[in-house]
Each structure stands twice: as C-alpha cells, then as structure tokens.
C-alpha cells in the first residue's frame, strides 16, 4: 500500500478556534481489510475502486465506490474492506470542539455518503488546497488556515452528499434531472452501489411506479407542456423529450394520454367566442409538416 501523507502537531491555541488538522494524505492503491478506532475524526473520499465500510453500531456493511465519502467518528471501531482490485482514496484526520456542534447539526453523521461525480473534483481540489496549507512551516497561522479549510470541506460534503440510506430519494432526483436523456436504469443502480431490484423497490416506494415508468411520466409531462406552449414540430418535441423515434413517441403518448400529440395540441390553447381553439399560423405549419408520427 503506497501512501502520500502529512501529519501535524497542531497548537492548542489553534484548537480553541474550533477545528485543527491532525493529518492528511492520499492512497493511490489501497487493498485488503483493516480495522481501526482512532481518537480523532477521519474523512475518507474514494476516487477509484470499490469495497465496503462497516461502522460499529451503524447497521449493516455499506457498499462504497468512486464518489463515496465516509465520516469515521472518533473512538468508534470500524472496518474497511476493499474489493480484490483495491481502491484509491483521499483522507483527512482532525479534532476540535466544533465537531460536537457539527454532529448536532447533522454535518458529521457517521457512515458513507454518496456525492455526485460532478462534485468530486471540487472536493479533491479542496483537499489539495488543505494539503498545501498543511505543508507550510509549523505555526499557529498554518493551523488556523488548515482549520478554516476543514470547515469548508465539512460544509461541501454536507451540500454534495446523500446518505446511502436515502438511495430512493437520490435515485428519483437523478431520474428527474436526466429523464430527457438516454437513461440506463442499471447504470443508475451501479452508480449507487445497489442492485436493480433494490433501486426499483425504493423508487416505487416514493413514486408508486418503476424507475422506467417514472422516466416515461416525466417525459410525457414535458411533452404536454411543449405541445401546449410552443410551436415546435412534434418530431422536435419527441427529440427534446428523449425519444429518437418520433413514431414511437407518438404511439407511447397516445397510449398513455389517450389522444395523439397532434390531437392533444389541437384540443388545448386559446379559443374564440364560439369555443373553437385559435391555432396560430406557426403551430398550424408545424403540425402540417410533421407527417405520420404526429397523427
């Protein structure tokens, strides 16, 4: 196991400011299983590879992988176990009176959190900046600068992290954000380190339907909005809602909404005094140009 690390002997004066850094490092390749119980807080960010984390008194083993961030509380035994291929990580160790306040606020909840891959570079950059601060000559100023970085990292992890126990909510949020793109439900499950069946059950508990059905509902809701508020051709609306095939979009829309996209568009919008819908020239031209998929 190779490791790049810096250990500090922080001053007591700096500790009175709230947080002080005891150590920081990066392990390019960690493999195996090890048990630990330290007197200080440890934060662990996985950047590659997979494994499991077990914290005494915190339930079952948790599957972790790239993007997982683990807070390992002081004086609480825990076991880390990598898969056969090992993992890569960044880690920090710290203590101070502010940890109690962060615990009460829920920002230092023990156990793995899942951050998005988009947030991971931000966290890595903050950890690198913290390492640069830690590498300065020993002084109260160095310890205070490192402590300020620690406060920021705790807040960033809280903002970016979703407890792995909240997989259902995290999955629904992900599906909402990406419903109009090509969605790989199996890929979402792998990203969250759970089986497809577990993911599907958690999504259904929140939405009442399967993950794919939820995606279809989101797409068709967006399609109804575009049909009502824009003059886009129906083929363009199909593409904007995640459908490569306008004919398939039209069939799915008709089966679930009860009318074709074209009929839905004609049945909504402004109406004249006689109750007839007023169709603008742009909408009429768009509908006339769309062909069989729109009927």
Q: For residue 174, what pLDDT is reported? A: 86
The model carries a pTM of 0.62
- Residue 124 has, within 13 A of its CA and on its CB side, a CA count of 17
Q: For residue 259, what pLDDT is reported? A: 94
Q: Are residues 17 and 139 in the same domain?
A: yes
CA distance 53 to 165: 13
pLDDT in tens, 17-51: 999 999 999 999 999 999 999 999 999 999 999 99
CA distance 252 to 40: 56
Q: Are residues 248 and 177 in the same domain?
A: no
The rounded percent of the chain whose pLDDT value lies above 90 is: 60
State yes or no: pLDDT of 136 exceeds 70. Answer: yes
Q: Are residues 185 and 284 in the same domain?
A: no
Q: Are residues 24 and 52 in the same domain?
A: yes
Mean pLDDT rounded to a whole number for the chain: 85
Residues 80-98 have a mean pLDDT of 95
State yes or no: pLDDT of 285 exceeds 80. Answer: no
Q: Are residues 230 and 275 in the same domain?
A: yes
Q: Are residues 29 and 152 in the same domain?
A: yes
For the chain, the farthest-separated pair of C-alpha atoms sits apart, in whole angstroms, at 84
Residues 132-139 have a mean pLDDT of 96
Residues 114-134 have a mean pLDDT of 84
Q: Are residues 140 and 272 in the same domain?
A: no
Q: Are residues 154 and 74 in the same domain?
A: yes
Note whether 87 and 53 are within 8 A (CB).
no
**Final residue of a structural domain among 177, 208, 239:** 208
Q: For residue 274, what pLDDT is reported? A: 40
Which of the two residues, 27 and 162, has the higher pLDDT score? 27
**Final residue of a structural domain among 160, 180, 199:** 160
What range defines the domain where residue 260 resides? 213-294
Q: Are residues 197 and 79 in the same domain?
A: no
CB contact set of 113 (below 8 Å; sequence gap of 6+): 68, 69, 70, 71, 157, 161, 162, 163, 164
State yes or no: pLDDT of 1 exceeds 70. Answer: no
Which of the two residues, 112 and 25, has the higher pLDDT score? 25
Q: Are residues 61 and 105 in the same domain?
A: yes
Single out the residue of 148, 40, 157, 48 nearest to residue 108, CA to CA.
157
- Quickly state the pLDDT bin for 187 (edges 50, 70, 90): confident
Q: How many domains does the chain have?
A: 3
State yes or no: pLDDT of 114 exceeds 90. Answer: no
- Quickly state the pLDDT bin for 68 (edges 50, 70, 90): confident
Lowest mean pLDDT among 59-63, 162-166, 178-182: 162-166
- Quickly state the pLDDT bin for 66 (edges 50, 70, 90): confident
Q: What CATH number is given to the structural domain containing 82? A: 2.60.120.280
State yes or no: pLDDT of 62 exceeds 60. Answer: yes
């Amino acid at each position: 196991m190779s490791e790049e690390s810096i250990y500090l002997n922080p001053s007591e004066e700096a500790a009175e400011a709230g947080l002080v850094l005891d150590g920081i490092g990066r392990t390019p390749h960690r493999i195996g299983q090890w048990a630990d119980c330290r007197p200080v807080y440890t934060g662990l960010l996985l950047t590659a590879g997979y494994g499991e984390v077990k914290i005494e008194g915190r339930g079952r083993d948790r599957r972790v992988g790239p993007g997982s961030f683990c807070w390992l509380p002081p004086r609480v035994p825990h076991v880390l176990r990598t898969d056969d291929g090992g993992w890569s990580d960044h880690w920090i160790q710290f203590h101070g009176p502010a940890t109690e306040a962060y615990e009460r606020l829920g920002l230092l909840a023990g156990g793995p959190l899942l951050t998005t891959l988009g947030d991971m570079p931000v966290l890595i950059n903050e950890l690198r900046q913290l390492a640069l601060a830690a590498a300065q000559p020993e002084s109260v100023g160095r310890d205070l600068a490192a402590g300020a970085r620690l406060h920021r990292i705790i807040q960033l992890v809280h903002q970016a992290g979703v407890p792995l126990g909240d997989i259902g909510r995290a999955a629904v949020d992900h599906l909402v954000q990406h419903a109009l793109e090509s969605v790989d439900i199996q890929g979402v499950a792998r990203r969250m380190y759970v089986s497809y069946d577990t993911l599907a059950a958690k999504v259904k508990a929140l939405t009442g339907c399967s993950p794919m059905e939820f995606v279809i509902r989101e797409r068709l809701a967006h399609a109804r909005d575009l049909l009502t508020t824009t003059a886009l051709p129906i083929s363009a609306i199909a593409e904007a809602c995640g459908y490569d095939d306008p004919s398939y979009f039209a069939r799915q829309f008709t089966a679930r909404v009860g009318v074709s996209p074209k009929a839905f568009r004609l049945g909504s919008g402004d109406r004249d005094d006689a109750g007839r819908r007023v169709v603008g020239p742009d909408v009429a031209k768009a509908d006339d140009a769309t062909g069989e998929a729109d009927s």
